Structures are given as C-alpha cells and as structure tokens.
Amino acid sequence: MFDKVLIANRGEIAVRVIRACRELGMSTVAVYSEADRAALHVRYADEAYLLGPAPARESYLRGDLIIDLARKSGAGAIHPGYGFLAEREDFARSVQDAGLVFIGPKPTAIAAMGDKAVARATVTAAGVAVVPGTEGEGNLTDDELIAIAPTIGFPLLIKATAGGGGMGMREVNSSHEMLGLINAARREAEAAFGDGNVYLEKLLINARHIEFQILADDHGNVIHLGERECSLQRRHQKLLEESPSLLINEALRQQMGEVACTAARSVDYLNAGTIEFLVDKDHNFYFLEMNTRLQVEHPVTEMVTGVDIVREQIGIAQGKPLGVTQDDIRLNGWAIECRINAEDPYFNFMPSSGSLAQVCPPTGSGVRVDTGVYSGLQISPYYDSLISKLICWGDTRDEAILRMRRALEEYRIVGVKTNIPFHQRIMDSRHFITGEFDTRFVEERFSMNETEDGLEAMPHIAAIMATLVNHYQTQRVAQIIRQDDHGKSGWKWAGRMERLEK
Amino acid sequence: MKYIATIDDKTYEIEVNSECEITLDGKSFSIDFLPIASPSIISLLLDGQSFEAHVNPTDAGWEVFLLGQRYLVTVEDERQQRLREVSSVQAAHREAFQLKAPMPGLVVAVPIKEGEQVEQGANLVVLESMKMQNELKAPRDGEVIGVRVKPGDNVDQEQVLVILD
C-alpha cells in the first residue's frame, strides 16, 4: 500500500491531484519543466524535481525520468493526470514493471481503447452500437481511405487512431479534398501522439456529445456516475460542460449508463474512465470512444454526485472496493463548467501567452475554481491554453446559469486574452438557455459580434471609461513636458497616473 | 478638456471638467475614477453607480470590456478631430499588410509562394503553439510580396512572417 504519490503532470490537474492526496494524508511529489519552476503544483507539493527543458518531449513526456524520480523519492504510485503520458500503454506498463502502482487502468485496457479502431471493434463485439466508419479495417493507406470514403458517405471525419482532444481530426465533405486533409491530420497526429495513423467515421448532423463517467474497482464493481453534456465545442475542443444533460431523462440515463458499463467491462476496465456517445435528435446513441483517464470536466460530475473522483481513483489503485454503489448515485442539482482558456475569442480563438499581471478569481456560494495559475505567473507557449476551470452549482439549471453569469463577471484576469467574454455570451444566449444546441452550434450558429436580445448595452459608460483613460494619459505626457510646473496636481493625481502607466 | 468618443458611428461629446466631474452630451455627472490593477482594470463611480471595465489600447482605438460586452472606442480631442477632417479628403492609400506571429511558435507549413495572388481567408502560415496548429489567414486579397519564414522555423511574437502588397 503506497502513501506517497508522484504526479506526472502540470497545471490545474496536477494541483487537483495534489489536493486529493493531501486530504487523504498522502505525501506528494511534483515534477516540472524549466518553464514551470514557479508553477502552483511545484509550490503545493511536498517534493518537486526538475525533469528538463520546457518542450513536453524533453520533460513531461520523459516517462523514463519520471519513473526514476518516483523510485528515488520513494513514491509508491504515479498519477498521470490527463494528456501527456495518461493514455500511453507503454508508460503504464513500465510503471508496473518498476514495481510501482499506475493510478489508472491496466495497460491492456489502455491499448484496447487507445487504438480507436480496435476500441470500436471491441465494443461492437460486446453489442454496443458505434458510429459507422472504418472500424475493424486496420490501418489504411491514403488510397484505401479515399476509396472507402464514398461507401461510408460524406460528410465524414478523419480521426487519429491514437487521438484525443480534437487533434489529428479533419472534416471532409468530398473526395477531391481528402488527400490534403488526410495529410494535415496525419501530420498533426504524428506531432501530438507520435503515431500518424487515421481512420474514418461518419459525421452525424445535429448530434449531441454526451459522455458517462465510469468507476471500476478490482472487486468486480463497475458503476456509472451519470452523464455530462459536452456538445459546446469548437474545432472538437470542448469549451463548456454540464451535468446532468437536458436531453437525458431517467430512463435513457439508466439505459446509456448500463451500455457504458458494458463497454468498460468489455476491456476489463479498472479505475476511472469515460465513455463518449453521440446522441441524435431521436435519442439514438452511438459509442464514440472511451477515454481511459481522468477527464478535464470531471468536476461537474463531482458537484452533482458528491463523489470525489480522484479520491476514488486512489482508493481503487490501493485495491480498495468503491466507496459508493450504483444505488448511492443520485444527481443532485445542476453543475456547469466553463473552461477558461488563454485565447482571444475576438480573433479566431488565437492562443495568447504572456505574464499574468493580475488574477482575481470569483468566490462565494456554489462556485469552484480549479486552476494552476496566480498573479505574476507566466503563461508559456509550450503547453495547452487552459488557465482554469470555473464550475458553478445550482439547485436547478437556471440557478447554475445565473450563478455562472455572476462568477464570470467577477473573474479578473489581466495580462493575456481569455475566452471569458465568449462564456458570458453563451450564458446570455437564448439557444444555450433553452438547450437548443449541438456539437456544431459554436462554429455555425454563434457569433461574438451579434447582439442577442435582452442584453443591456452601455456604450456611453464605455465611452466615458475610454475617454478618462485617454485623458489621464495625455495629461501625464503633458506634465512630463513641463516638469517644472507642479501646479495643484498633487499626490492623488500623480499616483493615479503612475498606476495607469504600469 | 473636450473629447469626442466614437463607438460604431455613434459619437459622445465628453468634457472632463475636473478630477470629479464630467459632462456627457451636455449633462454633468460626478465621477470617481480609479485604476484598480495595472495596466487595465478601471473602477468608475458615476453619480454613485459603480462600474468596472478592462480598458486596453489597440491599433484601432481603446478596447473596453464592460459587463460581458466589448466596445471599440476611438477618442479624439477637438483639435485632433479638426485635423482629421482636413486630412481625410486625401485619397485612402492601401498599405502593405504584414502578417505577424500572434505568439511564439513553430512554423509547420507555409502553403503560399512569393508572387502568388491570394484571396481573403487564404491560409498563409500554419503556426504550432500551445499544442494547437493555428492557421493564419489573409485578411484581404493581395499579392504575396514577401515570405520571411519556412517550415521548421521557430518564431517570436510579433515577428513578420508574410507580406501582402
């Protein structure tokens, strides 16, 4: 039984895992790159060791170094978080071979679900419906993919077999554009996962992305913690998640939950995992893929079920039975998560890096912020753009939305562009409030520049703000020019202008 | 000092009378103006009503984020406005467009060549940053008159990548 855990990750998820360990009375070991010496996970952990230079392949992807550090520091287990090494079968196996515990599924399950083509074949054999595509065909060449595409029908998706997070994914509408898109997808998949293999899948129109959280222990218990609605995406990157989903009633929840557990059992699953489904407007649902790790959006499930998923993960890894049964699971109230990214929603969501001059997160009843940043920290271009996750809980969905509006308005981040205005606009969107959205909503029917009805515009206040800032700057310049003229400007005036110039 | 602030063709005449009073379109308001966080968060009490906004300088004027909305505000004093009115009779001159890197990154692809005519929205450079491949596009039609990078180059923020005539 281990009592010290090494966290092989960075950012908010490393902090999240450290917190769970702390609360269980376990010691924590952080690892970090040269870009992350000042990061919160390094500051919060009991021990911290340098891995190497900033690029992930020289630091957070160095499984050999990480295992070495775990041994030297006396950590008995490694938690991989999400991304980086979390879904690498070879890493999970090396951890086991080193006599350490991998806090996650068995390597065989990672392999079976990690190759998306194999995963689709496996769950099909267990009687689970999948989205039509090239499952069971093995790795195909460009020519074979182009030949098979018309038999599936357009539009379709090219997806990386080792994929996740929307990387190595392209949408295709006709045969003649396929070759270029296959090349782009292979290039991106090769860079992200070291594996350029791709497969094809039919693109369902008006579909919702609904996923089920699974927990499985070593004593034969497999349970689900209900669904998460993840349809609000851009370029296949999730932006906002909620639990439960307006689309799912109790009967459908039970049915999909059981199918999710069946899919997990088909690969002898252990620990926390997520089964992703696409659901069409007639409530037909299809298995999309299984994520064999902790998800970014796990907090919404925690908020409505009261289950600490990371604590359960650690318990499962210690060989304990689950702390809850399926009958204990009730979805209480509503939770929404907004992913706060360093990106500019007014400029094609371009990532933004720089120094965080000020960070002042919202607090108060029903508000949770999972983050790895603070004022003064540098957002580097080496890793993903997630700054924090803002999660709000309410008795009802309406209450959760009102609380999220309040919290977003309070959130102050200065120094990089963020997508907070995007989330504010979503919270005001009639389509979102009434639940009329699907996976294409953000890209096809949403604009940052259109004003929705009912939004109070205050251009005159904006005009006054800009004019005053402009005025004080002009005054300051004028004052520098006539330095001998102290006049009656006084300390207050000078102090204000100094603050403006900082 | 008197200013003209413009948002989407609508103008506001604002006079800063003193540190604690302004006039907006002929009506006076008491103000208390306090920068909260450098460089850009401003707290404003306007006749007792409390407002807070992010105010950032951009090439196109001041960008103001207020209550979940973004406003682009240009501010001129009377003298600047008169000057502009005089000079605006001169013909608009189209300047060359320089595509600059919005952030540091690795150039993955440059799918255009010097001398090529591109249309608005054409992909000029693919830049990998923050684990994402970002397609940098042409803001308008034009001829490519300079290509300053090649795939594999590491570029800094604001570095010029491609120039359109």
| Strand ranges for A60-207 from DSSP E | 77-79, 101-102, 156-160, 170-172, 198-202
Is the four-CA dihedral A59, A65, A67, A68 of positive or negative sign?
Answer: negative
| Residue B151, domain member (yes or no) | yes
Nearest CA in chain A to B34: A496
**Sheet holding B154-155: strands in order across?**
B132-137, B123-129, B105-109, B154-155
Q: Could you read off the pLDDT of A96-125 as tens digits, one per residue?
A: 999 999 999 999 999 999 888 888 888 999
Residues B23 and B63 in one domain: yes
Alpha-carbon gap, residue B57 to B61, rounded angstroms = 6
Mutation choice for B interface testing from A181, A410, A468, A488 by most B CBs within 10 A: A468
Helix then strand count (H, E) for chain A reads 17, 22
Q: Enumerate residues 6+ apart whose C-beta is below 8 A from A181.
A: A158, A170, A171, A172
Please identify which residue in the block is written with the tokens 């998820």.
A13
> What residues does B30 pair with on adjacent strands?
B21
Which domain covers residue B105, as residue numbers?
Answer: 97-164
Alpha carbon distance A102, B143 (integer Å): 55
Q: Which amino acid, one-letter code, is at A450?
A: E
H or E, element range at A192: helix A178-193
Residues B74, B143, single domain; the answer is: no
Q: Is B122 domain-assigned?
A: yes
Among candidate residues B87, B115, B137, the one where a domain is terminated: B87
Check CB contact under 8 Å for B55 and A469: yes
pLDDT band at A502 (very low <50, low <70, confident <90, very high): very low
SS3 state of residue A86: coil
Residues B129, A381: C-beta atoms closer than 8 Å = yes
Of B42, B68, B87, which residue is a domain's last?
Answer: B87
Shortest CA gap A158–chain B (Å): 16
Going by C-alpha positions, the residue among A113, A90, A93 that lies closest to residue A102 is A93
Q: How many CB contacts within 8 angstroms connect chain A with chain B? A: 167
Do B105 and B74 share a domain, yes or no?
Answer: no
For residues B79 and B104, state if they share a domain: no
Same domain, B28 and B66: yes
- Look up residue B30 and give its amino acid: S
The CA distance from B116 to the nearest CA of chain A, in Å, is 20
CATH number at residue B21: 3.30.700.30
Q: What are phi and psi of A133, to 5 degrees?
A: 180, -155
Q: B123: how many CB neighbours lie within 10 A of its CB? A: 14
Instruction: Please tell me which residue of chain A has the smallest CA distance to B134.
Output: A350
Listed residues B39, B60, B87: the one ending a domain: B87
Q: Is residue B33 part of a domain?
A: yes
* ipTM over the 0.90 cut-off: no
Query: Are residues B73 and B6 part of one domain?
Result: yes
In tens, the pLDDT along A258-302 reads 999 999 999 999 999 999 999 988 899 999 999 999 999 999 999
H or E segment and range at residue A403: helix A397-410
Cα angle A404, A347, B105 (rounded to 5 degrees) comes to 110
Q: What is the pLDDT of residues B75-114, one digit of tens each?
A: 999 888 777 777 665 544 567 888 988 888 889 999 999 9
Contact between B110 and B147 (Cβ < 8 Å): yes
Task: Flag whether B136 is in a domain.
Answer: yes
How many CB atoms sit inside 10 A of residue A410's CB? 15
User: Between chains, do B5 and A347 touch, taking CB under 8 Å as contact?
Assistant: no
Q: What is the pLDDT of residues A1-43, one digit of tens each?
A: 899 999 999 999 999 999 999 999 999 999 999 999 999 999 9
The structure's pTM equals 0.85
Contact between A21 and A4 under an 8 Å Cβ cutoff? The reply is: no
User: Do B76 and B148 fall within a single domain?
Assistant: no
Q: How far apart are CA B13 and CA A487, in angstroms?
A: 27
Asked if residue B69 and residue B9 are part of one domain, the reply reads yes
Chain A residues whose CB is inside 8 A of the B35 CB are 496, 499-500
**Alpha helical stretches, state H, A194-308:** 250-265, 298-305
- Whether residue B14 is found in the same domain as residue B65: yes
- Is the Cβ–Cβ distance between A44 and A50 less than 8 Å? no
Residue B23 burial (10 A CB sphere; 0-12, 13-18, 19+): middle
Q: Rounded distance, CA A202 to CA B109, Å?
A: 28
How confident is the model at residue A500, as a pLDDT? 59
Residues in B touching A462 (Cβ below 8 Å) = 7, 53, 64, 66, 71, 73
Contact A213, A309 (CB under 8 A): yes
Q: What sign does the dihedral A187-A188-A191-A192 (CA atoms) show?
A: negative
A496 CB neighbours in chain B (<8 A) are: 33-35
Average pLDDT, chain B: 88
In a domain, B92, yes or no: no
d(CA A276, CA A223): 15
Residue where the block lists tokens 């010097």: B114
CA distance A418 to A385: 9
Q: What is the CATH number of the domain that holds B107?
A: 2.40.50.100
Whether residue B68 and residue A463 make contact (CB cut-off 8 A), yes or no, is no
Is residue A311 annotated as a catalytic residue, yes or no?
no
- B83 and B104 in one domain? no
Work out the average pLDDT over B34-60.
89
Domain count, chain B: 2
pLDDT for B91: 44
Reported confidence tier of residue B28, pLDDT bands at 50, 70, 90: very high
Instruction: Give me the helix-helix angle, A309-317 and A11-23, nearest 10°.
Output: 70
pLDDT at A493 over 60: no
pLDDT per residue as tens digits for the range A190-236: 887 788 889 999 888 889 999 999 999 999 999 999 999 999 999 88
**Are the CB atoms for B68 and A423 separated by under 8 Å?**
no
For residues B24 and B74, membership in a common domain is answered with yes
Catalytic residue, chosen from A293, A368, A403, A476, is A293
Residue B71 in any domain: the answer is yes
**Residue environment code for A236-252, b if the CB has 16+ CB neighbours within 10 A, otherwise e:** bbbbbbbbbbebbeeeb
Helix, strand or coil, per DSSP, at residue A377: coil
Residues B64 and B13 in one domain: yes
Find residue A279's DSSP bridge partners.
A208, A285
